[in-house]
Amino acid sequence: MNRSVEFSSNEVFLYFYLLNECNIRGWQNPFEHPNKTIVLATGISEKTVIEVRNRLQQKGLITFESGKKNAKSPVYYLLDVSKTVSKEVSKTVSKRVSKTVNLKDKTKDNKTISPLRVGELFPANSFFDKSLDDCYNELKANQSWAETVTMNTRSSGYNDFTLEIFHECLEQFFMKLQNEGEVAKSPKDAMSHFARWLQLELKNRKNGQRNNERTAANGIQPFADSSQYGTPSQDTNTTATGIADWINSLPIGQ
């Protein structure tokens, strides 16, 4: 349908989000869903959500009833467009191919994410929950997304960040999810969650490195030094022996 109508990345994002919400509810249609939840889940502002859902309604994918503040959430109804889509696509796809190719060529040097790029980063089924293992394997195999995250991370000041470090962090992130008791996650949600976690993780690593460098410059042994754990050092044993000899030499009680 995108070939004949053309949707923005936000329109694609919001539609698949609503589709997933409908699926979670056992295909209850229509269904209520608050704007605040959409904003938190997608990162799209409420103003943009309102604009995008209006365009989705105009393009024949949904209908909705606006909510009332502090009283009622908006109600969404997903329309069945499968019959009309096949007819429209068959008429227009040949005309759209040349324009699509030209659009793809023009966006090679464009840093903004076009609908074509969104399709590469976020496959349609990435909006639905999968087992943690399946989710990890899908993200691990998504080379376009990995390269995009790596490039953006390097651009934000972490010049030494590489694809190898990206995959190490991705594995660490999913181990964290397992430790927290997660058993399923949608790849799209995992992408968003990982991006936020990665920024915090890299910031913490940088701060830890600075602290260690500052500690070393002051001549103080870092806290995590191995000599602080396990068997005491030789100097410690020597000091303890000297104190014991001194105590035994005292005339008290003799």
Same domain, 13 and 88: yes
Alpha-carbon distances, residue 186 vs 11, 121, 137, 173, 189 (angstroms): 19, 14, 12, 14, 5
Same domain, 41 and 96: yes
Same domain, 94 and 132: no
Same domain, 10 and 99: yes
Q: Report, as an integer, the average pLDDT of 27-56.
A: 90
- Within a domain: residue 91? yes
- Give the domain-ending residue among 217, 232, 249: 217
Same domain, 91 and 128: no
- Within a domain: residue 240? no
DSSP alpha helices (H): ranges in 25-131? 35-42, 46-58, 82-106, 115-121
CATH assignment at residue 13: 1.10.10.10
| pLDDT band, very low/low/confident/very high, at 235 (cuts 50, 70, 90) | low
- Give the domain-ending residue among 68, 103, 138: 103
Same domain, 142 and 88: no
Compute the radius of gyration of the chain from its Cα atoms. 28
pTM over 0.75: no
At residue 20, does pLDDT exceed 70?
A: yes
- Give the domain-ending residue among 103, 138, 156: 103
User: What is the structure's pLDDT at 166?
Assistant: 94
- Within a domain: residue 27? yes
- Within a domain: residue 237? no
- Within a domain: residue 250? no
- Within a domain: residue 161? yes
% of the chain surpassing 90 pLDDT: 29
| pLDDT band, very low/low/confident/very high, at 50 (cuts 50, 70, 90) | very high
Same domain, 198 and 138: yes
Total count of domains within the chain: 2
Same domain, 57 and 26: yes
| pLDDT band, very low/low/confident/very high, at 228 (cuts 50, 70, 90) | very low
Same domain, 94 and 176: no
Q: Report, as an integer, the average pLDDT of 203-213.
A: 81
As a whole number of angstroms, the distance between CA 118 and CA 220 comes to 50
Same domain, 59 and 143: no
pLDDT in tens, 142-178: 998 999 999 999 888 888 899 999 999 999 999 999 9
The length of the chain is: 254
Same domain, 128 and 203: yes
Q: Report, as an integer, the average pLDDT of 57-79.
A: 89
At residue 52, does pLDDT exceed 80?
A: yes
Same domain, 191 and 131: yes
By residue range, what is the domain housing residue 167?
124-217
> Omega into 232 within 30° of 0, i.e. cis?
no
- Within a domain: residue 47? yes
- Within a domain: residue 159? yes
As a whole number of angstroms, the distance between CA 62 and CA 42 comes to 18
**Position with higher pLDDT, 215 vs 28:** 28
At residue 85, does pLDDT exceed 80?
A: no
CB 52 within 8 A of CB 43: no
